[in-house]
């Protein structure tokens, strides 16, 4: 049986950003005594929290933007709100996948959630360009999805 530190190392080596992965997984004191399934739950919990908070933040930004004439920003935020609504549904499904042992589907679902976050970010890079107020949130969610996919891959190999 791998130690929690060994599991974190195995997971993070499979991600695009090993340092960020280690920060996320080592930040929660619970992970020090966690098995792989517990670590997968921790990642999904953090992803759900970031997604829920971002959803609320986007609504606040849309309300703040309602006083301006920046129709483009309103459209981009509206698109992101749709993307984050889809993310919430996807993460809820990922929890069910994890609990039922459908690890391959869990990985697929979280890749799709990560793509939604990237799609939100890409909206702001279109014409006309706007600075994205969601860059850090989108990147955090993408990283968590990457960690979740790596965790699902390991679970699939063990199960």
Contact 21, 15 (CB under 8 A): yes
Contact 117, 87 (CB under 8 A): yes
Place of tokens 């869990």: 106
Contact 86, 117 (CB under 8 A): no
Nearest to 24 by CA among 47, 4, 55: 47
- The whole-angstrom separation of Cα 102 and Cα 100 is 6
Please give the pLDDT value at position 2: 60
Please give the pLDDT value at position 146: 98
Model pTM score: 0.92
Q: What does the pLDDT look like over 36-84, one tens digit per residue?
A: 999 999 999 999 999 999 999 999 999 987 667 788 999 999 999 999 9
Place of tokens 């006083």: 67
Domains of the chain: 4-158 (1.20.140.40)
What value does the mean pLDDT take over residues 89-116? 97
Instruction: Give the percent of the chain with pLDDT over 70.
Output: 95
């Amino acid at each position: 049986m791998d130690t929690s530190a060994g599991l974190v190392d195995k997971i993070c080596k499979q991600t695009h950003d090993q340092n960020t992965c280690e920060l996320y997984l080592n930040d929660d004191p619970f992970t020090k005594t966690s098995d792989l399934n517990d670590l997968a739950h921790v990642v999904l919990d953090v992803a759900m929290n970031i997604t829920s908070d971002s959803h609320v933040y986007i609504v606040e930004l849309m309300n703040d933007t309602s006083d301006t004439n920046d129709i483009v920003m309103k459209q981009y935020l509206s698109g992101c709100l749709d993307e984050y609504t889809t993310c919430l549904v996807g993460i809820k499904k990922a929890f069910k996948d994890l609990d039922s042992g459908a690890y391959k589907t869990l990985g697929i679902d979280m890749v799709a959630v990560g793509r939604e976050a990237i799609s939100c970010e890409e909206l702001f890079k279109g014409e006309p360009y706007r600075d994205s107020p969601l860059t850090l949130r989108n990147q955090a969610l993408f990283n968590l999805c990457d960690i979740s996919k790596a965790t699902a891959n390991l679970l699939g190999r063990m199960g």
